[in-house]
Structure 1
Amino acid sequence: MKIIKVVGLICTLQLGLASVGLAQRSAYWQEKPGSWLLNAGVGTTRYLGDLNERWNLAHLQLGVSLGIAAAYRYSNRLTFRGEAQLYYIRGSQENTHLSYNNLSFRSFNPELWAGIQADFWRPDDRNHAIVPYAIAGVGLTYLTPTTTYKGKSYSLAPLHTEGVNYNRLPVILRYGVGLPIVIGYRFKWHLEGLYTHVMSDYVDDVSTVYPDRSTMEPLAAALSDRRLEIGQTPNPTGAKRGNANRRDGYFTLSARLIWVVITQKQQHYRRSRRG
């Protein structure tokens, strides 16, 4: 459902931009196979997991992302890409149907991933004003969930708030679509919408059930079940704390500045294609 919505957004934007009249678009779009591209992006993130409601659009709990990438155009329609990104996500049960549990987190995580971009059409196809593309890749991220308690910030993973020592370096799967918006000889602006599926249910430090708090250190026990802070009775051992059947993830919508590394071969290629 996530990727279908992104595709719908991209198609809508494409129809709107097609009327702008990019008569010379194909001359600028044509990177010679073997060309390198560098890009940087800034965007907004939205976490999807146990501490939010995915359809609660009144409380999106947005974060930010910063990324740098290098890409290599392998063929007319296929590009290989590698990227490093820092992203901030957050979530809270406040304003959800589970607000009585009072759990929350925030996380500023690094990630590395590599994958492919596949253009929907050949870049020299003059029947289309713009050429959107699909993206798919695999990588790693490092989880750093934290929360605030009595005015101080605490890292949650070392406290084992569910009584488990989970993997903080999980595999990620990224997929989505991109759309060129503004073009020039050396620089282009793209809009990208990507979903990152994390192969872990502990992005937010919440997954299964409440542990036996009597066996935990006081700080870990306090952050495992935070109902006392709002005057509620703590949950019994074994009560449901999260949904282990659905892994966490996050959505990123970013604007990216693409720099085409121009060489003499690339200049000659573009001149020949315009002719």
Structure 2
Amino acid sequence: MINKTNMRYLILTIFSLATLFSYSQSNGGFGNSNNWSLNKSEIFFSVGATQFLGDLGGLNREGTQNSIADLDWSSTRYGAGFGYRFRFHPRFATSTQLYAGMLSGNDANTDEIIRRSRNLSFRSIVVELSQRLEYIIYAKEEGGARYNSYGTKGRGTKADIFYVFSGVSGFFFNPQTKINGSWTDLRPLRTEGQGLPNGAEEYKRTSLSIPFGVGFKFAIGKYWRLGIEVSYNKTFTDYIDDVSTVYYDPETLQDKVGGNAVYAANPSIENHTWFTEGQQRGNPEDNDAYMFSNITIIRNITYPKPKGMSRTRWNGRTKF
């Protein structure tokens, strides 16, 4: 379901891409060199850190999913992925990536009294398939020893590229919490009365997100590149952490689901009167978000042009 917050992100994405395209056109095109075509096709592997921005955990303040100021560094987890990038224009590329990582949040990590007393915690794997459009802000690309047959012997390969990106992602998640020392799936426990009388609506374990990010990469050999990439992913769900609306009737939970559901719904450790039926448990107006910060290893798989190609075409430089 697209609420007002997600609609603003969609509008911002479209506006940003339109502005970048207009700016590039107004600055006289992309130069005369075709060296960018030496790097059309790439495969890449990513590994790095993940961060969750949602109702649980965070710093010593009221939570917000819209600001990295609420990052809880102790909840940092890890992820990895791989993908394919195709550059179809000097300034534009598209990439497809499959990524898997773990997200985590824990109220025990904050000194903000309401969140700490609430005492909720979770972890969730996220498996994401994304399709992105990249806009290249700066590029300096020169053929090196790889292109000896074209007269470039002795020159090191350069492929310095700085870019921003956005797109759309589909992902799977499965929130869990520890009960009696074992990780237990939360969705079947219906902690906010999902699907029960007067409870919240049931949620799916798949959703969409909009990634916004920035990246930089450079050559470390004839075919290899090394890069760093950071993305902020605003989702269309508020249930990655299984927390969104209000506390449900514990007697009904006990009767319909069982004791584990009662505990998972309300494990508060103090100020218990704040966490009774009908009281706020999460913020349904502010969907969850997560971040990926990755080191990327990139392999250029673009085939060199056959011998006999004009040297002037291959020995030039592209610099934005």
Tell me if both proteins adopt one fold, taking TM over 0.5 as the criterion.
yes
Shift, 1:186, TM fit? 0.3
- State the partner residue of 1:103: 120
SS state at 2:37 partner? coil
Distance 2:287 2:311 in 1: 45
Runs of 5+ unmatched residues, structure 1: 1-28
Deviations 1:177-226 (A, max 9, x none): 00114432200001001011111011110011101111112211111001
Query: What are the residue-to-residue correspondences of 1:26-175 with 2, within 5 Å?
Result: 30-32=35-37, 35-53=40-58, 55=69, 59-96=73-110, 97=112, 98-121=115-138, 123=140, 130-164=160-194, 165-175=202-212
Aligned length: 243
Query: What are the residue-to-residue correspondences of 1:261-272 with 2, within 5 Å?
Result: 261-265=301-305, 272=313
Q: 1:92 to 1:133 in 2, by over 3 A?
A: same
Distance 1:147 1:77 in 2: 45
User: 282, 287, 297: which is aligned to 1:242?
Assistant: 282
Shift, 1:264, TM fit? 2.9
**Counterpart contact for 2:159–2:219, Cα < 8 Å:** no
Q: 1:269 to 1:166 in 2, by over 3 A?
A: farther
Q: Between the two proteins, what is the percent identity of the paired residues?
A: 28
Q: Please identify the structure whose Cα radius of gyration is greater.
A: 2
Shift, 1:246, TM fit? 1.1
Q: 1:239 to 1:269 in 2, by over 3 A?
A: farther
The one-letter code of the counterpart of 1:150 is N
Distance 1:111 1:187 in 2: 25
Shift, 1:252, TM fit? 1.0
**Counterpart contact for 1:63–1:87, Cα < 8 Å:** yes
Runs of 5+ unmatched residues, structure 2: 1-33, 59-67, 143-157, 195-201
SS state at 2:164 partner? strand
- State the partner residue of 2:272: 233
Shift, 1:124, TM fit? 5.0
The one-letter code of the counterpart of 1:233 is H
Distance 2:310 2:75 in 1: 46
Q: 1:194 to 1:263 in 2, by over 3 A?
A: same
- State the partner residue of 2:24: none
User: 201, 204, 225: which is aligned to 1:188?
Assistant: 225
Q: 1:270 to 1:183 in 2, by over 3 A?
A: farther
- State the partner residue of 1:215: 252
Question: Aligned-residue CA RMSD in angstroms?
Answer: 2.6
Q: 1:113 to 1:156 in 2, by over 3 A?
A: same
- State the partner residue of 1:177: 214
Shift, 1:270, TM fit? 8.8
- State the partner residue of 1:24: none
Q: 1:169 to 1:58 in 2, by over 3 A?
A: closer
TM-score, normalised relative to structure 1: 0.80
TM-score, normalised relative to structure 2: 0.70
SS state at 2:277 partner? coil
The one-letter code of the counterpart of 2:136 is D
- State the partner residue of 2:30: none
Shift, 1:129, TM fit? 9.0
Q: 1:238 to 1:30 in 2, by over 3 A?
A: farther
Q: 1:244 to 1:266 in 2, by over 3 A?
A: farther
Which deviates further from its counterpart, 182-191 or 103-112? 182-191
